[in-house]
Structure formats: C-alpha cells, structure tokens
Amino acid sequence: MKCKFCERKAFIKLHYPRMYLCEKHFMEYFERKVKRTIERYKLLRPDERVLVVVSGGKDSAVTAYVLKKLGYRIECLHINLGIGEYSEKSEAYAVRQCKKLGVPLHIVRIKELFGKGIGEVRTRRPICSYCGLTKRYIFNKFAYDNGFDAVATGHNLDDEASFIFSSIMHWNTQYLAKQGPILPGEGKFVKKVKPLYELTEREVVAYALASGIEYHIEECPHARGATTLEYKEILNMMEEKRPGTKINFVKGYLRKKKLFKIELEEIELGECRVCGMPAQGEKCSFCSFWGLEQALNFKIK
Ligand code: SF4
Ligand code: ZN
Ligand code: ZN
C-alpha cells in the first residue's frame, strides 16, 4: 500500500483515523499530535524548563525526543530502582538515549540512597505501591529542588485508558476525580504533564522505530500479572473490533470528570517535619516509609 500523502510505500496502517502513512508522514503526524495535545490541554509554555522522567523504555524516550524536537528546554531524570539486572539495563538505555539526544541526564539510584532496592524492603505494602510512591516523590522533589517548571512523563493513551477502566471497575472515585493530561502545580508540587496522552502504544512503538530510538523492551519483573495489563488486553480487543474505542473512552471521561469532583476530599496538608514537603501527618509518606530523619536534597551541584 502507498502513503496517503505521497508516493512512498506505507510504513504503518493507522486504524483511527484509518490511513496508510510512509515513515516521514507518520512522524509528522505523530509530532503534530503531540503539539496539539500540548496546546489543547495547555500543558507547557515555550519558555518553561521541563524535566522528563526517563525509564529507559520507549514511552519516556519518545517523550524526550519529541519535546526536544518541538524546541522545549528539557533535561532528563532517570531513577534507578535497584531491581537487579533489569535496573542496570534500564539505566544503560536511558544513558544512551540522552547521549544521542544531546540532553543532560541526572540519575538517582535508590540503592545508593537507602542501601536497598525496590523489592528488597520488608514491608506489608505491595511492591508497586511503594515503588510508585518513591518515584513520584523523587521526581517531584528533584524538579522542585532544581526549579523546573514541569515534570513530563511518558504515559500514553493505552496507559490512561486502562487506568481509567480499572478505576471504574474498582469505583475508585478519588482517582477518577483527578486523572488527566495535566496535574497543575501547587505549592511544592510541580506541574505534571503527559504529552503522549492521545497517542496509542502501537503508535509510540512505531515512532521509536522510525526515529531510531533504542529502548529497553523488558517489563519490570514485578509487573507480571498486574491487572492493568489485563485491562489493556480487553481494551485492545475492543479497539480491534471498534477502532477509536480508547480515545473516545478517554475523551468521554475527560468530559464527565467533573461528576467525580465531589469525591475529592479536601485534605489539609501540612509540612513534613523532615523534608518540608506537603504531608498529611507530621511526616510525609515517603520519609516515613523510608524511615528518614534527614531530608534528601537533590539540588544539582
Ligand atoms: Fe515499580 Fe516495577 Fe511495579 Fe512498575 S512494575 S511500579 S517499576 S515495581
Ligand atoms: Zn508519505
Ligand atoms: Zn518528608
């Protein structure tokens, strides 16, 4: 098949909107879509300093690549989770990706901070729960300590659709009240944005291939059996039968999101006595989970 816009051979068949595109026109389509997402949801201003959290995987690498191409001032942060060989490989990919892009990369290693990696802590808390808490705290604190205006993550349409789907299945109305492509900054919480919000995983993989981005394909060993993967499978089956299912589901949610607003508890946040970041009790959940008595400072020297 030929590209819809030129004589070249098709590189990809898009299902929604239905069309065949060559490599060049697919890349243009993809970048245009990221640009439109940024404009439509007012994610970033051109002068903002953006910290992209790169895991070594495809989504964050593509996020960094496209933001740089669109002219944003980006730097990257990799959090090495200390999950054996998986984390070693992830870091190596992040290093290579940033080198190729020519952007500064900062690395924070959990094992160096706490002497233990994710999965090595004796706790009743599920691994992914404290891993998520740790990552969120570190990228926010890192951005805050270094004066970044925004943190960009690589969440794509499939991630968002499956997360909303799972939140509905569990009637987690607290989550449903605040998901979306942007979480505005407030006080010591730096703004969080998701530039790939409207692009499918399949499109992200194709873009990485077209632009020669190498990435870590392996899943985290702790992700096995995660229910979000099952939700993704179900959504993929539906998308196959009815192209557009995912984007219409997510856009419909954004239109109806205000229905869940009432569920947002107005929690009075104080300051963590250790690190000074927002906290519900006297210590924030990060400092109390890791048993910290001294704040971590991520200021770049
Ligand atoms: Fe962390 Fe791995 Fe769980 Fe993801 S799957 S939250 S990286 S432990
Ligand atoms: Zn073309
Ligand atoms: Zn704290």
CATH number at residue 77: 3.40.50.620
* Cβ 205 vs Cβ 214: under 8 Å: no
**Ligand with minimal distance to 270 CA:** 3
Q: How far is the CA of 37 from the centre of ligand 2 (A)?
A: 23
Q: How far is the CA of 134 from the centre of ligand 3 (A)?
A: 11
* Cβ 173 vs Cβ 260: under 8 Å: yes
The per-residue pLDDT for 40 is 97
**Which residues are close to ligand 3, an ion, with C-beta < 5 A?**
272, 274-275, 284, 287
Pocket test for ligand 1, best of 54, 131, 227 (most atoms within 8 A of CB): 131
Structural domain for 282, as ranges: 268-301
**Ligand with minimal distance to 283 CA:** 3
Residue 39: closest CA among 195, 212, 261: 195
74 lines ligand 1 (CB under 6 A): no
Q: How far is the CA of 120 from the centre of ligand 3 (A)?
A: 21
* d(C-alpha 27, C-alpha 204), whole Å: 10
Q: Going residue by residue through the chain, which has 301 residues, state the pLDDT in tens, using 9 for 90 and above.
A: 999 999 999 999 999 989 999 999 999 999 999 999 999 999 999 999 999 999 999 999 999 999 999 999 999 999 999 999 999 999 999 999 999 999 999 999 999 999 999 999 999 999 999 999 999 999 999 999 999 999 999 999 999 999 999 999 999 998 999 999 999 999 999 999 999 999 999 999 999 999 999 999 999 999 877 788 899 999 999 999 999 999 999 999 999 999 998 766 777 889 999 999 999 999 999 999 999 999 999 999 8
The per-residue pLDDT for 263 is 67
132 lines ligand 1 (CB under 6 A): yes
Are 161 and 276 found together in one domain?
no
Pocket test for ligand 1, best of 111, 123, 222, 289 (most atoms within 8 A of CB): 222
Atom of ligand 1 nearest to the CA of 55: 7
133 lines ligand 1 (CB under 6 A): no
* Cβ 68 vs Cβ 103: under 8 Å: yes
Are 176 and 300 found together in one domain?
no
Residue 222: closest CA among 290, 125, 82, 128: 128
Are 72 and 213 found together in one domain?
yes
* d(C-alpha 51, C-alpha 139), whole Å: 8
84 lines ligand 1 (CB under 6 A): no
The per-residue pLDDT for 143 is 98
Q: How far is the CA of 95 from the centre of ligand 1 (A)?
A: 20
118 lines ligand 1 (CB under 6 A): yes
**Ligand with minimal distance to 27 CA:** 2
Are 249 and 281 found together in one domain?
no
Task: With respect to residue 83, please indicate whether it lies within any of the assigned structural domains.
Answer: yes
Identify the residue whose tokens are 């992700």: 223
The per-residue pLDDT for 93 is 98
**Ligand with minimal distance to 130 CA:** 1
For the chain, count helices (H), then strands (E).
11, 10
Are 246 and 125 found together in one domain?
yes
Are 75 and 217 found together in one domain?
yes
Are 232 and 108 found together in one domain?
yes
Phi/psi for 170 (5° steps) reads -100, 5
CA distance to 75, 84, 267, 286, per residue, from 179 (Å): 25, 32, 17, 22
21 lines ligand 1 (CB under 6 A): no
* Number of folded domains that form the chain: 2
Are 226 and 93 found together in one domain?
yes
Are 223 and 292 found together in one domain?
no
Q: How far is the CA of 206 from the centre of ligand 2 (A)?
A: 15
